[in-house]
Structure 1
Amino acid sequence: MGAVSCRQRQHFRVPTPRKQCGNIQGPLARGWKSLWCGVGTIRSGLEELWELQGHQEPLRPAPLLLEKTLSEWPVPQFISLFLPEFPMRPVRRQQQLKILGLVAKGSFGTVLKVLDCAQKAVFALKVVPKVKVLQRDTLRQCKEEVSIQRQINHPFIHSLGDSWQGKRHLFIMCSYYCTDLYSLWAAVGCFPEASVRLFAAELVLVLCYLHDLGIIHRDVKMENILLDDRGHLKLTDFGLSRHLPQGARAYTICGTLQYMAPEVLSGGPYNHSADWWSLGVLLFSLATGKFPVAAERDHVTMLARVTHCESKVPASVNQELSLLLHELLCQNPLHRLRYLHHFQVHPFFRGVAFDPELLQKQPVDFIMETEDTQPSPLEPIPFKDFDYDLESFLVHSISASPPLL
């Protein structure tokens, strides 16, 4: 039985953003921090990969890295563990990147805001220490995340820019956005019906696209939805996703408790229908301003709450939306809405064209004004050797931070 992600939300009030020199706090940081908090919940089977390298003894990853001095290059077998999803990148290409700020720092890695001088564009760069990957046995998970993101291409999915490995870190570069859906929801409380319909239609298209490719996301939630400058969504964080062919079943308990389907909480078997339950939880929260079931500390207690507490949709929600929520939050996954034609003929989506280009032309009327609170340095900080300069920057940025107000 797999581990449960630590990304539970037991309260809905967001603390007042706090500013730090060199750091980004508030809505931006909250959105990006969600990419890290639960990483490492799926075991990767690293022993099998190690045996393929010709090693028969049990793998002890941490001493392998810790015994090396900081100036030494890891052994070739160690490098090849991360190929081909994380190819070696010439140092001169790394030097094209300049750091603009620290977006978020979690227990498993760091998100930086960087400028690619060659492309003259700003990106978010996820930096994962290799030692953490080996210690938590999440190699297969990291490779799967990159493999999936390279396979997919959709207007409502957060696109992967590049990925590579250095001496001590893995790097995943993707598009940079300032706002996430959770921050917007925390500020607004509940959304107008028209906005709920638009976001729902965009997410339906995304999930149908992924499921047609045999991909299950397993962590659909507000924190994993970024918003572009026009207010349209970008589904992100494929760290818990996996390839699951139609007809196959999964058993790992993973995700965020308040969004997890009952069949996931019980330890499976489950399939792509679990994503539709998560969508139901998300839409219920957008429409009502609260979650259908309060979070518990463990999946066993949460399962009891979910299976014995029927979610009551407030009377203020119209009949068509209420029907949609009941059909998504259905205990039996076989009776849950899950195919595109189910939504195309649903009364809540009457008049909606399920076409990405047409949906992107619709205005989002109440997007929260979000400032990028990063106090940009006079000149961006270049990286001569990204692996080592990263630690120097983190130490400098933390030590330079003023007392919290």
Structure 2
Amino acid sequence: MGATNSHTKGCNSLSPNLWNPPWKGLWNGDSLAASRLGQLLVTGRTIKDKFRATHQTSLPEEKTAEHSLPRYMSLFLPEFPVWSAAGQPELKILGCVAKGSLGPVLKVLNCTEQKVFALKVLPKWEVLRRNTLRQCKEEVTIQRQVKHPFIQCLGESWQGQRHLFIMCNYCSYGDLYSLWMSAKYIDEDTVRLFAAELVSVLVYLHDLGIIHRDVKMENILLDERGHLKLSDFGLSRHVPFGERAYTICGTLQYMAPEVLSGGPYGHSADWWSLGVLLFALAAGKFPVAPARDHMSMLESVNIATYDVPESVSRGLTHLLKELLCKIPRQRLHYIHQFKSHIFFRGMTFDLALLQKFPVDLVLNMRKSEVTELPEFNVFDDFDCDLTETLQFPNTCNT
């Protein structure tokens, strides 16, 4: 007891400044205002010029010095190295692919390689405010570890003064959700192929001890041949076999009951999500309607009957019931269980053979659609660390 009291007293005698987190200064109004200087989207000017012009007219010099970010901001993540100006690629923003929970995903052109990539931009103040620092580190670490034909490939990752950047291969045919919404009906042969590709991915990840935790149609991209690429490992984590997770995370309609209840849960939670996804593809609707929060969703999931429409084949009906089993340990999860399943009769799980032929449904749907880029309204709060490598072209060539 004496040692404990002495230690506590010693801690209390420290300067109050030592108790403040080093990023506390980020939350004052002036610092945030500095990160949202003006509108960066003036036609025909690079965002470097836009920032300079706005910076000079909107922020006094003494404010710039007083509220500049501390030096640690470019050191606290070794997974995101600080590149020298000479080593940075020249990237042009062609459009916005999505607006994520932390920041946008941009479509960018590497001018040196003349190759298009998807660039995830994460503001550091949002990462800190939401306490997702560990998750950002794990996202990059996991994606560097995995290599699979049906996983979106990770490119470079780096940091500027105020943002983290994650670059991945760009998938030109959008995501599975957009296809599902456009097609209204997806034939079972295509569902079978998609299911085999996703099963092979999840078995691969689980063998490495990785839970994805956000398997959903929006996170499954389509490449130029119509095959799937699982993306967005922002919620993924390593969970060694025998251990369990407790964080309630993911997308409500896809979350397993054990996740909605706060755990414990393991890798089998991903198989429930796959069951929800395949149910929606086959039936044209989700098995359970969305709810306002996880407790309401859990109640809906527990009372749902998961009746499969009669138009769905017997084999697929059996597969859905075995994936949407409320007892985690009874869900299918071994590759041999899928290979011998009636729904996959005659289906290969060889990765090379799965990729051999293009997916006609995807190619035909995408060729008939014209995709317009959204407005650049997600760039209002970008600041100076983007100006070194990124610029807006006068016209966006897609």
TM-score, structure 2 normalization: 0.78
Task: Indicate the residue corresponding to 2:211 in structure 1.
Answer: 216
Which amino acid in 1 is paired with 2:386?
D
Q: Offset at 1:231? A: 0.6
Task: Indicate the residue corresponding to 2:112 in structure 1.
Answer: 118
One of 314, 322, 326 as aligned partner of 1:319: 314
2:216–2:273 contact (8 Å) kept in structure 1: yes
What are the residue-to-residue correspondences of 1:1-400 with 2, within 5 Å?
57-59=19-21, 61-64=23-26, 70=64, 74-82=69-77, 84-106=78-100, 108-178=102-172, 179-367=174-362, 368-369=365-366, 370-374=369-373, 386-388=385-387
Which amino acid in 2 is paired with 1:103?
V
Q: Offset at 1:65? A: 6.7
Which amino acid in 2 is paired with 1:251?
Y
For structure 2, the 5+ residue unaligned runs are: 1-16, 32-62, 376-381
Q: Offset at 1:269? A: 0.5
Deviations 1:21-40 (A, max 9, x none): xxxxxxxxxxxxxxxxxxxx
Measured in 1, the distance between the counterparts of 2:281 and 2:216 equals 11
Aligned residues: 335
2:81–2:159 contact (8 Å) kept in structure 1: yes
Q: Offset at 1:131? A: 1.2
1:89–1:164 contact (8 Å) kept in structure 2: yes
TM-score, structure 1 normalization: 0.77
Measured in 1, the distance between the counterparts of 2:292 and 2:22 equals 31
Measured in 1, the distance between the counterparts of 2:155 and 2:329 equals 37
Runs of at least 4 residues off by over 6 Å:
389-392
1:61–1:135 contact (8 Å) kept in structure 2: no
Q: Offset at 1:80? A: 2.1
Q: Offset at 1:92? A: 2.6
Task: Indicate the residue corresponding to 1:17 in structure 2.
Answer: none
Q: Taking structure 1 as reference, are residues 153 and 107 closer, same or farther at Cα in structure 2, changes over 3 Å only?
A: closer
Q: Matched residue of 2:360: which SS?
A: coil
Q: Taking structure 1 as reference, are residues 70 and 392 closer, same or farther at Cα in structure 2, changes over 3 Å only?
A: farther
Higher mean C-alpha deviation, range 64-73 or range 119-128: 64-73
Q: Taking structure 1 as reference, are residues 107 and 70 closer, same or farther at Cα in structure 2, changes over 3 Å only?
A: farther
Q: Offset at 1:271? A: 0.1
Q: Taking structure 1 as reference, are residues 107 and 151 closer, same or farther at Cα in structure 2, changes over 3 Å only?
A: closer
Q: Matched residue of 1:315: which SS?
A: coil
Measured in 1, the distance between the counterparts of 2:117 and 2:333 equals 34
2:89–2:110 contact (8 Å) kept in structure 1: no
Q: Offset at 1:119? A: 1.9
For structure 1, the 5+ residue unaligned runs are: 1-54, 377-382, 398-405
Q: Taking structure 1 as reference, are residues 56 and 216 closer, same or farther at Cα in structure 2, changes over 3 Å only?
A: farther
Q: Matched residue of 1:366: which SS?
A: helix
Deviations 1:225-280 (A, max 9, x none): 00001110000010110011111100111101110001001111000000000000
Q: Taking structure 1 as reference, are residues 282 and 375 closer, same or farther at Cα in structure 2, changes over 3 Å only?
A: closer
Q: Offset at 1:294? A: 0.6
For the aligned residue pairs, the C-alpha RMSD in angstroms reads 2.7
Q: Taking structure 1 as reference, are residues 337 and 384 closer, same or farther at Cα in structure 2, changes over 3 Å only?
A: closer
Q: Matched residue of 2:361: which SS?
A: coil
Measured in 2, the distance between the counterparts of 1:363 and 1:388 equals 39
Higher mean C-alpha deviation, range 174-183 or range 325-334: 174-183
Q: Matched residue of 1:285: which SS?
A: helix
1:190–1:285 contact (8 Å) kept in structure 2: no
Q: Matched residue of 1:317: which SS?
A: coil
Task: Indicate the residue corresponding to 1:379 in structure 2.
Answer: none
Percent identity at matched positions? 60
Q: Taking structure 1 as reference, are residues 105 and 222 closer, same or farther at Cα in structure 2, changes over 3 Å only?
A: closer
Measured in 2, the distance between the counterparts of 1:392 and 1:361 equals 38
Which amino acid in 1 is paired with 2:148?
H
Measured in 1, the distance between the counterparts of 2:193 and 2:221 equals 15
Measured in 1, the distance between the counterparts of 2:306 and 2:384 equals 53
